[in-house]
Amino acid sequence: TFEQRHYQQYTCYTVFFISIEMCQIADVLIRKTRRLSLFQQGLFRNRILVIAIVFQVSIGCFLCYCPGMPNVFNFMPIR
């Protein structure tokens, strides 16, 4: 039906947005550990980077799961 197609389309928008966020987090971790491994470099030494990753994930969760926000961006909560 028409409603099911819209639900599927909005869910795809959400999954695409979350996948972009995950790729950005992976990219920043890859760029941070270009020469040394993540275990040698230390993940929690750069506090600003950790705060930025937590902030990005929280913004993503807020946009997807906060009541009222999914209607603004046409997102559906991921089950």
Average pLDDT, 10 consecutive residues per value, the chain (79 residues): 89 91 91 78 83 94 82 81
pLDDT score of 71: 76
Instruction: Answer whether 63's CB lies under 8 Å from 15's CB.
Output: no
Instruction: Answer whether 11's CB lies under 8 Å from 78's CB.
Output: yes
pLDDT score of 27: 92
Instruction: Answer whether 18's CB lies under 8 Å from 75's CB.
Output: no
Residue 57 forms part of a structural domain: yes
Q: How many domains does the chain have?
A: 1
pLDDT score of 51: 95
Secondary structure (DSSP) of 13-25: HHHHHHHHHHHHH
Residue 60 forms part of a structural domain: yes
Residue 48 forms part of a structural domain: yes
Residue 36 forms part of a structural domain: yes
Token code pair at residue 51: 């705060």
Q: Which domain holds residue 26?
A: 2-73
Total residue count of the chain as it appears in this document = 79
pLDDT score of 36: 78
AA letter at 2: F
Residue 34 forms part of a structural domain: yes
Residue 63 forms part of a structural domain: yes
> pTM to 2 decimals?
0.79
